[in-house]
Amino acid sequence: MSATPTASARRALVVGASRGLGLVLADELARRDWQVIATTRRDSAGLRAIADARNGRLRIESLEMTSPRELSALRERLDGRRLDLLFVNAAINLSNRPIDEVPTHEFTEVMITNALSPLRALAALHDLVVPGGTVAVMSSDQGSITRNTEEGYELYKASKAALNQLMRSYATRQAGDGRTKLLIDPGHNRTELGGFDAPLDPRESIPAVVDVLEAQAGTPGLQFLDLHGEAVPW
């Protein structure tokens, strides 16, 4: 029998949950009895398995986040719902070339996916978040200009720095809404994007991320935090 949500159940929308960190995040929230809506741009066997296992606490919605039309359609489908957490997770990395060797189409695709589309998603969906709720985006310490002291991954770093800057602009425009706003650095995890020799296991790092989300709930303004709740330098 499916679990019936209670009036006090915490409600989350995780955008980009088909695999990797987003998949583990959606599962961890559902495990903690959040009512979770998780989006995927194509069928995800892993996400379906989690939905089946979590007794009605997770439902799946289809979304290609880079499509304004699909964002608008999702917003219409969710009309009337209220969220305590909106979490946007999206990132690609197509190569490790120096920036002068990156083809224009590759630069455009990475910037649209990693920087522009997450902010479009926030703009389309943030009005579903209750006063005092949380709006969060998955960032990376690779987007920290202060910490950019090693060679490599120039386009990916630039896209995450752009994401951080755009989130700062968003937070400035929405300064009076009382919502918690977070950029989250989850660390270097063993995923398809992070590589399978990375030091962190998502099943250990993402519960720490959720601890941060829960601890920061109700704190207004924008913060850039790691999985331990420590500030990441801009």
DSSP string, 10-74: -EEEEES-SSHHHHHHHHHHHHTT-EEEEEESS--HHHHHHHHHTTTSEEEEE--TT-HHHHHHH
Residue 141: helix, strand or coil by DSSP?
A: helix
The dotted CATH code for 11-226 is 3.40.50.720
CA distance 229 to 183: 11
Contact 53, 46 (CB under 8 A): no
Collapse the DSSP code of 202 into the 3-class scheme (helix H, G, I; strand E, B; otherwise coil) and give the result: helix
Q: Which amino acid is at 38?
A: A
Provide the whole-model pTM.
0.93
Q: What pLDDT sits at residue 195?
A: 65
Could you tell me the residue ranges of all domains in the chain? 11-226
Q: What is the mean pLDDT of each run of 10 residues along the chain (234 residues)?
A: 54 95 96 97 91 95 96 97 96 92 97 97 97 96 95 96 98 96 88 68 92 96 97 97
> Which pLDDT score, from 0 to 100, does residue 190 have?
63
Q: What is the pLDDT of residue 7?
A: 45
Locus of tokens 């209670």: 6
What's the CA gap between 60 and 149, in Å, rounded? Answer: 40
Q: Can you give the pLDDT at residue 175?
A: 94
Exposure on the CB side of residue 71, measured as CA atoms within 13 A: 17
What pLDDT, on a 0 to 100 scale, did the predictor assign at position 197?
Answer: 75
Give one DSSP letter per residue of 86-134, joined into a string.
EEE----------GGGS-HHHHHHHHIIIIIHHHHHHHHHGGGEEEEEE
CA 81/CA 127 separation, integer angstroms: 10
